[in-house]
Amino acid sequence: MPTYIKKYNRLDALLTLRGFACLMVVIIHCAPPRKSIIYKGFDVSWLMFSHGAIAVWILFVLSGYLMGKAFYAQRYAADIVGVMSFWRNRTLRIFPLYYFAVLILSIFVYPEVINFDNWGYLLRIFTFTYHPYIGIETVKFNDVFWSLSTEVQFYIFVPFVYTLIQNIFHKSNKIFIIILIIFGGTFIFRSLLWINFKTQINQDMGYAFKYWYTPLIVNLDLFLCGFLVNEFLINQQQNLNQIKSLIIKYFAAILIIVLYLFSAYHLYHQELWNLPNRNGGWRTSTTILILQPLTAIITSFFIFAFEKDIYGDFNKHEKLSLSAILNNPLRILEVIGNLSYGIYIWHMPIITRTYDIFTSEIPIEAFYIRLTATLILSTILATVTYYLVELPFSKWKIYQNTNSQGIKFPISKRKSSSDD
């Protein structure tokens, strides 16, 4: 006889954070010129436009955590069958919408990429090795695709990372060693990049993308920091009482807000973002060396704070629906997170095609019109492709289930919104 499992209609904090990060990206891409929001003589424009890189880094940390959780919670076994199932499910999650978008965008938005001379770019797009500045002369395409390439490259190594950690670093005292190695190694690598390419990175966005922003190796601390949160959750010694747990959650949320404000202020006032004579690139050692590991630590702490009481609880969370939102209105915050993949893919080409349409003599008015139009259109497109492309393919995913005692059930087909 099947056992009844009570499902809780609670807010998914990680899905909400993912939606927030997605909105950060859309907002910065729609951003108006500087000094567009003036209050009593003070320019407060920076409050609206956080560092877009911070949003992408948050998404990388979340991805690292969820990919690690898939193995730690035994949705996949660390054997040939389990690893192949993991890669198969990642393919079903990413590839269908990605290649559908490539087809649509190549025909209707960026047709120049189909020209024979640009097939090298097309090959890089198809093989997840793309970033906007891979050639001497850039060919315009959907710039955000670079992050999807970096994520897919990380997916290849996830099973090996899990096996390595389990065999060598599983004891809690050794986890701190691997954390020091990760942060130390990436800090040294970024420092060498900064020393050797400081002028190029400062003056040319192409160099910043090619050498510092897009490569997997310079983003490993983000992915792995999120990945290792699973170790701390597995090895947590005691459950805190409800009040202490709530305090930790509030503190984690406050840290995310502080990160947003600090990075926004730094981008606007130290990097002098969006000045007419600033054509791109990142210009400060703080951005190059500090903000990235800081984002990894704060986001990882946020994950730990909100997952520690429900870790591994795949089946007790009520699926997001209109009924669930009516019973818990806070869950409306999850909607953007649930559609974030589609919104992330579609918003940039929408901006490309509508930027000159949604305009105004008043910069802030143009921004609000452009942002509203982009959010509406990208959400509509994301919703359509979610039901027509993402969901149908997600039904073919397979997982290796376990019961509460860790006993494995046969592999079965099952759809879950947690596997992102």
What are the tokens at 393? 């393919």
Question: Which residue type sits at 169?
Answer: F
Residue 345 has pLDDT above 90, yes or no: yes
Q: What are 144-168's pLDDT values in tens digits?
A: 999 999 999 999 999 999 998 888 7
Q: What is the pLDDT of residue 415?
A: 41
Looking at residue 7, its pLDDT comes to 61
If one compares 273 and 388, the residue with the highest pLDDT of the two is 388
Ranking 53-67, 179-193, 239-253, 310-324 by mean pLDDT, the lowest is: 310-324
Q: How confident is the model at residue 139 (pLDDT cuts 50, 70, 90)?
A: confident
When comparing pLDDT for 318 and 160, which is higher? Answer: 160
Mean pLDDT of 70-99: 94
pLDDT tens digits, one per residue of 43-68? 888 888 888 899 999 999 999 999 99
pLDDT confidence bin for 401, thresholds 50/70/90: low
Do 336 and 19 touch, CB atoms closer than 8 A? Answer: yes
Confidence of residue 127 (pLDDT cuts 50, 70, 90): very high
Residues 6+ apart with CB under 8 A from 336: 19, 20, 22, 23, 343, 379
Neighbours of 203 (CB within 10 A): 15
pLDDT, mean of residues 242-253: 92
The whole model's pTM is what?
Answer: 0.92
- The full 3-state SS of the chain, as one line of letters, equals CCCCCCCECCCCHHHHHHHHHHHHHHHHHCCCCCCCCEECCEECHHHCCCCHHHHHHHHHHHHHHHHHHHHHCCCCCCCHHHHHHHHHHHHHHHHHHHHHHHHHHHHHCCHHHHCHHHHHHHHHHHCCCCCCCCCCCCCCCCCCHHHHHHHHHHHHHHHHHHHHHHHHCCCHHHHHHHHHHHHHHHHHHHHHHHHHHHHHHHHCHHHHHHHHHCCHHHCHHHHHHHHHHHHHHHCCCCCCCHHHHHHHHHHHHHHHHHHHHHHHHHHHHCCCCCCCCCCCCCCCHHHHHHHHHHHHHHHHHHHHHHHCCCCCCCCCECCCCHHHHHHCHHHHHHHHHHCHHHHHHHHHHHHHHHCCCCCCCCHHHHHHHHHHHHHHHHHHHHHHHHHHHHHHHHCCCEEEEECCCCCEEEEEECCCCCCC
Reply yes or no on whether the pLDDT at 413 is more than 90. Answer: no
For the chain, how long is the longest CA-to-CA vector?
Answer: 70
Highest mean pLDDT out of 7-16, 167-176, 292-301, 328-337: 292-301
Work out the mean pLDDT of the chain and round it to a whole number: 87
Q: Which of 35, 59, 33, 65 is nearest to 306 (CA)?
A: 65
Distance in angstroms (rounded) separating the CA atoms of residues 402 and 397: 16
Structure token digits, residue 316: 């007790």
Q: Length of the chain, please?
A: 420
